[in-house]
Amino acid sequence: MKKTAVFFIIAISLFLCACVKNSAEIDYYNQGMQQLEDHKFDEAIESFSKLLKDSDDSAARAMYIQALHMKNAMDYVEYEDYKKAIKELDIIIKMKEGSSAIKSEATKKKDEYNKTLKDIEEEMSQRKEKAKKSAKGDLDRVREIALKANYKHSAKIAAEKAKADAEKAKSQTPTTPSGDSGASSGASTPSTGTGDGSSTTTPPSQNNTGGTGQ
């Protein structure tokens, strides 16, 4: 009789312990799921971690994984690393178990981040094109300035050369003395003709300034 009573007490104790354990697991499960869908990912991870210590509930494990990857995705978004965030969301989307609300949200966020990436790429492309055009314009202006400077320099050199040539030509021109023409005319001796076609030279007259004495 006593053995039966002891056995009965032990069975009741085990049953009560199992009920308490199951009750705690249910509490962690419900709590974790609510935290997950409220985007309290750190708290959801903690709740499911406690549940999974003594349970191998596949649904709880799936939601734990969802919470973990949603947290990672949000961290990447904070640093504007949308490509890595999308990879995290893909893991959630491909899962067969877990919160359907989180899977739906992951799909929407993936579409949103893909659009953001496309906008960023288009903006970068436009900036590159503008920078390319601006660089080309700057290069054209530099070339124009260089051409003008070269033209001015060439014109200056040409002017200086023309001036030097003119001065050189001027220095090489011979000058005629002013008394040469008179001396040439004074040195000529007039001649008179004769009947036989010959000519005789008339001697220059002598200027007897002193007289003959007669």
Q: What is the pLDDT of residue 138?
A: 81
Assess contact for 66 and 109: CB atoms under 8 A: no
Identify which of 61, 59, 62, 66 has the alpha carbon closest to the alpha carbon of residue 105.
66
What does the pLDDT look like over 63-84, one tens digit per residue? 999 999 999 999 999 999 999 9
Per-residue pLDDT of the chain (214 residues; tens, 9 = 90+): 555 544 444 444 434 333 334 778 899 999 999 999 999 999 999 999 999 998 889 999 999 999 999 999 999 999 999 999 999 999 999 999 999 999 999 999 999 999 999 999 999 898 888 888 888 778 778 888 887 887 777 888 888 888 888 888 877 766 555 555 444 444 444 444 444 444 444 555 444 444 444 3
Give the type of residue at 195: G
Q: Give this prediction's pTM.
A: 0.53
Enumerate residues 6+ apart whose C-beta is below 8 A from 72.
85, 88
Spatial CB neighbours of 73, under 8 Å, sequence gap ≥ 6: 85, 86, 88, 89, 106, 109
Question: Taking the domains of the chain in order of start, what are their residue ranges?
Answer: 10-127
Residue with tokens 């009947």: 195
